[in-house]
């Protein structure tokens, strides 16, 4: 029997070649980002903006794969930094000659922006703005008068305004629309599903497993961006949203047929379905979306009941692929509708995150001020770049960034020694920045497992080649800045592992019951539209849990769960991944099955040991075929056993270990 796609996706770690392999849109995005970096280099050199490397580097935080988000982020960052710099003008005279007041203002501004970055919708830009503003306040310590202080603040504004303006211009002209990215993604998923119905090779299976694991991916965010752009009719966006949910259902059913001997469609049926899906993918590639797709002829009379049900659901998903359901209230669509997160003022984690990051940044500031080594001021900037909400995420990011820093430093030094002696114009420097940015952007555009390497490679490279307004061979300045980066990363690592470390394992233990409740809702759904929405959301939840499990190994020993915790969670995730597809085959709403799954969720969340072993009384045998019942019972019973084992285990081996 073929290995389940969910297990295949979680079993192996992609190699370096796979992480660096091209995919649709990767080169185009890297070229746009590199072009913006080259333009910023030109502007900073022509107008002799101080610290040009910082302005170039901020491009990496503004540029996104679609034009809308790039424009929005650039505009939002410019507006916010304008407001904040405007406020700082009012107090610059009071703090420029008073170190104590300056440090207090740095602390207050840093804490406020970082809190917003953790607890509000400013999360994509808050840390970057905090970086720029605190760095500007730091620079005030070296100016002798109020007039020069004003000039320093204006330059700080340019650190954001220049890259934002260049990013907006390039993205608006050359960037793809978010709708186009959704169409490409849907075409890729449909082609993978089509190939899986034929004779897939190992590479296709791996790509399909990855697509199934990711589910809708960024489709919902991109469709919201497309709505903000107002270049597509609302009806088209609704159709694409439904197509994204239908694609999730199709992937689940194709995977179920691939891994389940009881659902073995004959080759002619597979060929017709594959041809239909391939034709639908071609329509997306041409910039449209399919309507009235023909999923093939009548059922084969020789099919088993389970195979007939699966084929019927697949054809149902194809027939209604891009037909939006009638409007209905969706509570999930209104989640986090406000500016602040639901727990912004009740969850102390937001405050602790802001305090820890601000404390680490100010510690770095005090160190290089006291020892009079201003050349390592990059440690201050680094604190805002590498700090994340959980300890595991932060340590993973630091590990990747150290690797990127060393690679970027080597490339930068090689550029200084081999190329910079021949640089005689701004154009030549722009070409060097473009090529270095292209390499860094290619890495940054990939998987999160490697993207941070690209970000740090870019920073170290820019520090080396864009030190000032003329070719520079000052190795001491480069040494100081690289030392600053490494020192800042070590400080953040020390703070986030020793001061109220936040375990990503706790997030896993909260997410698993939430996913089970989503599946309970799926069991109680009585319409194809609701089922499609819930399956798509379940795939997204499952992907998040899988990613968190992958980085949990970075946690320090003090909060690292025991091995049994990892073994049970991986087994539970593998079983959870097997449930959505067969549940799509339910003949209607099954409230008894929903209650059973709810009990398992309650057991996992609260540790009730008596939640397992009661499935026989819940699911009426007549409702389901034996084969379908087994497809649901086997993974669900395994999850129930794990829940019971956790509830009976000691705290250091139970599921409540991480969430205590």
- Domains of the chain by residue range: 25-176+347-498, 178-325, 504-657
Q: Which two tokens stand for residue 11?
A: 């079993």
pLDDT confidence band for 449 (50 / 70 / 90): confident
CA distance 652 to 584: 37
Q: Compute the residue count for the chain.
A: 660
Closest alpha carbon to 77 in 32, 151, 36, 133: 133
Q: What are the pLDDT digits (tens) for 227-266?
A: 998 889 999 999 999 999 999 999 999 999 999 888 888 8
Non-local (6+) Cβ contacts of 396 within 8 A are 452, 551, 554
Torsion angle defined by CA atoms of residues 473, 475, 476 and 482, in that order, rounded to the nearest 10 degrees: 120
pLDDT tens-digit map of 86-144:
888 777 777 767 788 888 989 999 999 999 999 998 888 888 889 888 888 887 765 55
* Position with higher pLDDT, 645 vs 370: 370
Check pLDDT > 80 for residue 556.
yes
At residue 619, the pLDDT reads 46
CB 511 within 8 A of CB 541: yes
Burial of 299 (0-12, 13-18, 19+ CB in 10 A): middle
pLDDT in tens, 131-181: 888 888 887 765 555 566 677 778 888 999 999 999 999 999 999 999 999
What is the pLDDT, as a whole number, of residue 362? 95
pLDDT tens string 302-332? 788 888 888 989 999 999 898 887 765 554 4
Inter-residue contact 560 to 501 (CB < 8 Å): no
pLDDT, tens digit (0-9, with 9 covering 90-100), for 255-305: 999 998 888 888 889 999 999 999 999 999 999 889 888 776 656 667 888
pTM for the whole structure: 0.86
Answer whether 136's CB lies under 8 Å from 91's CB.
no
Q: Is the pLDDT of residue 621 over 50?
A: no
3-state helix, strand, coil in the chain (%, to 5): 75, 0, 25
> For 281, phi and psi rounded to 5 degrees?
-65, -40
Half-sphere exposure of 249 (CA within 13 A, CB side): 30
- What is the spatial distance between Cα 452 and Cα 404, in angstroms, rounded to a whole number? 7
Predicted local distance difference test score (pLDDT) of residue 401? 87
Q: What is the pLDDT of residue 226?
A: 94
Distances (CA, A) of 64 to 104, 416, 445, 574: 34, 30, 9, 32
Rounded-to-integer distance, Cα 330 and Cα 430, Å: 50
Q: What dihedral angle (degrees, nearest 10) is formed by the CA atoms of 348, 354, 360, 364?
A: -160
Sign of CA dihedral 34, 40, 43, 49: negative
Do 548 and 515 contact (CB within 8 A), yes or no? Answer: no
Q: What is the DSSP string of 581-616?
A: HHHTT-SS--HHHHHHHHHHHHHHHH--TTSSS-GG
CB 511 within 8 A of CB 544: yes
432 burial type by CB count under 10 A (0-12 exposed, 13-18 middle, 19+ buried): buried
Question: pLDDT tens digits, residue range 455-469?
Answer: 999 999 999 898 877
């Amino acid at each position: 029997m073929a290995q389940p796609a969910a297990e295949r996706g979680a079993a192996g770690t992609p190699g370096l070649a796979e992480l660096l392999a091209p995919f649709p849109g990767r080169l185009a995005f890297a070229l746009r980002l590199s072009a913006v970096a080259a333009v910023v280099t030109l502007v900073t050199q022509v107008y002799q903006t101080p610290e040009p490397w910082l302005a170039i580097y901020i491009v990496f935080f503004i540029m996104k794969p679609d034009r809308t988000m790039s424009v929005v982020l650039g505009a939002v960052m410019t507006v916010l930094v304008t407001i904040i710099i405007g406020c700082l003008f009012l107090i610059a005279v009071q703090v420029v000659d008073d170190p104590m007041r300056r440090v207090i203002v740095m602390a207050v501004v840093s804490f406020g922006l970082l809190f917003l970055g953790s607890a509000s919708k400013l999360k994509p830009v808050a840390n970057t703005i905090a970086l720029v503003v605190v760095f500007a306040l730091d620079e005030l310590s070296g100016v002798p008068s109020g007039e020069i202080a004003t000039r320093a603040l204006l330059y700080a504004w340019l650190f954001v305004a220049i890259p934002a303006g260049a990013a907006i211009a390039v993205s608006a002209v050359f960037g793809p629309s978010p709708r186009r990215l959704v169409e490409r993604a849907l075409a890729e998923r449909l082609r993978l599903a089509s190939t899986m119905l034929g004779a897939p090779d190992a590479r296709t299976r791996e790509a399909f497993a990855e697509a199934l694991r990711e589910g809708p991916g960024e489709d919902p965010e991109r469709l919201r961006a497309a709505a903000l752009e107002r270049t597509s009719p609302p009806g088209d966006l609704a159709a694409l949203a439904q197509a994204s949910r239908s694609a999730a259902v199709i992937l689940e059913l194709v995977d179920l047929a691939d891994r389940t001997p009881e659902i073995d469609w004959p080759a002619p049926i597979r060929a017709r379905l594959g041809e239909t899906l391939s034709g639908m993918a071609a329509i997306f590639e041409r910039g449209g979306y399919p309507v009235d797709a023909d999923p093939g002829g009548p059922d084969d009379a020789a099919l088993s009941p389970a195979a007939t049900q699966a084929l019927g659901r697949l054809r149902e998903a194809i027939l209604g692929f891009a037909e939006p359901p009638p409007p209905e209230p969706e509570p999930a669509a209104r989640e986090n509708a406000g500016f602040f997160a639901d727990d912004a003022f009740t969850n102390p984690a937001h405050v602790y995150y802001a305090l820890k990051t601000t404390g680490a940044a100010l510690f770095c500031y005090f160190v290089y001020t006291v020892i009079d080594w201003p050349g390592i001021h990059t440690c201050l900037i680094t604190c805002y770049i590498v700090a994340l909400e959980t300890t595991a995420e932060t340590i993973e990011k630091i590990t990747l960034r150290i690797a990127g820093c060393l690679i970027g430093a080597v490339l930068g030094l090689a550029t200084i020694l081999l190329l910079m002696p021949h640089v005689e114009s701004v154009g030549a420097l722009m070409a060097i920045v473009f090529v270095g940015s292209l390499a860094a952007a290619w890495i940054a555009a990939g998987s999160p497992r490697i993207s941070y390497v690209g970000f740090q490679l870019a920073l170290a490279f820019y520090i080396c080649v864009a030190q000032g307004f003329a070719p520079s061979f000052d190795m001491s300045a480069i040494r100081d800045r690289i030392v600053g980066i490494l020192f800042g990363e070590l400080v953040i690592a020390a703070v986030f592992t020793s001061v109220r470390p936040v375990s990503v394992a706790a997030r896993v233990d909260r997410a698993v019951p939430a996913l089970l409740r989503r599946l309970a809702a799926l069991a109680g759904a009585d319409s194809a539209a609701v089922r499609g929405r819930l399956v798509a959301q379940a795939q997204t939840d499952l992907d998040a849990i899988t990613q968190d499990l992958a980085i949990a190994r970075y946690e320090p020993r003090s909060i690292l769960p025991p091995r049994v915790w990892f073994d049970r969670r991986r087994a539970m995730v593998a079983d959870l991944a097997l449930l959505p597809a067969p549940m799509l085959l339910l003949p209607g709403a099954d409230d008894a099955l929903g209650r059973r799954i709810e009990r398992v969720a309650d057991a996992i969340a609260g540790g009730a040991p008596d939640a397992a072993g009661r499935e026989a009384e819940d699911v009426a045998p007549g409702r389901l075929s034996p084969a379908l019942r087994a497809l649901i019972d086997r993974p669900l019973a395994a999850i129930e056993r794990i829940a019971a084992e956790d509830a009976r285990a000691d705290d250091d081996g139970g599921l409540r270990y991480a969430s205590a």
